[in-house]
Amino acid sequence: MKQITRRLYTKPVMLGMAFLVGVVVVVGLFVTANSRAATTYIPAGDDKFETTGNGETYHNFSASKIPANFFGPGSQEYSGVVPLVGVPLAAGSDIDTIIHRNQAVYTPGTTTLTMTGLSLKSINPITVTYTGGGQESWSVRVGLSDFQASTGSMTINSGGTFDSTLKVYPKFTFTRVSDGAVKVLDTGDPGGPGLTASEATASEFETEPNPEPQPTIAPCHTAIDDFEGRVSATASTSCAPVTLTSTNSPWSTCATGFCIPRPITEQELLASHNASPPGTKKAIATKVASTAVAE
């Protein structure tokens, strides 16, 4: 009797365990299949962008003013906003900004970033005012620092969005429109933001050689929020990089792999970069041309 009871008891238990194991295996296969379906492999590579002149890309010098006398004796402090537009990095292309994803990832995953290309210019020359009322026009070019790499990170989410942060150390090159004299501000200079001046090529009217470029230091200012809405500026011995962040921005899979399908504006208080996907400038030009024909 005991043996019969034991057998009757053991058989349902074994069948129940087999059923549970089967359920676990099926659930495991289901979860694994779903995980694989939700995961995308994204190799390391370049994200290339065009910068249109729509006013959404700019640099504001109000927190890192160009000091008096920098552009020449008597030049006043410059603290203006400079709207920027892209300048192609290579002939036959409209690409002016390149950000390299350094590691391959399976989504969701994180890779470090390095900006490897940046070429912008002021839409219009800036106006430098001198004591006494005189004025000069200077064009502005923006590139990458010769001293400090511009780096960051990107987290690519499974749901078609990504979050990123990028610390950019720009180099500003100012060129006087009248004679081509040049001054450079490299925010990545380890000795501080070095401002150096090089004169234009001597003309036939000059009788003395140009002086050697002399470096000067631009005092940078850091905005401090006291958490009660009052913001003040304090001087700093060096310029912090421009930190651009992007949250919940879209990505998709295109013919070339990972791509960002529509313009993304990454900005902080004093700088903004409106990065558009390749082909944007041609699309705008085509639209403008078709509108002109229609009119």
Q: What is the pLDDT of residues 196-213, one digit of tens each?
A: 544 443 333 333 443 333
Rounded CA gap, 255 and 257, in Å? 6
In three-state secondary structure terms, 47 is strand
Rounded CA gap, 48 and 262, in Å? 12
Q: What is the DSSP letter of 92?
A: T
Residue 245 has pLDDT above 80, yes or no: yes
Give the mean pLDDT of the chain. Answer: 77
Pairing of strands 58-60, 97-101: unpaired
pLDDT for the residue numbered 193:
52
Residue 225 has pLDDT above 60, yes or no: no
Helices (H), 2-126: 2-38
Encoded tokens for 210: 């140009």
Residue 226 has pLDDT above 70, yes or no: no
Identity of the residue numbered 123: I
The pLDDT of 271-286, averaged and rounded, is: 87
Question: Residues of 187-208 as b/e, b for ≥16 C-beta within 10 angstroms?
Answer: bbbeebbbbebebeeeeeeeee
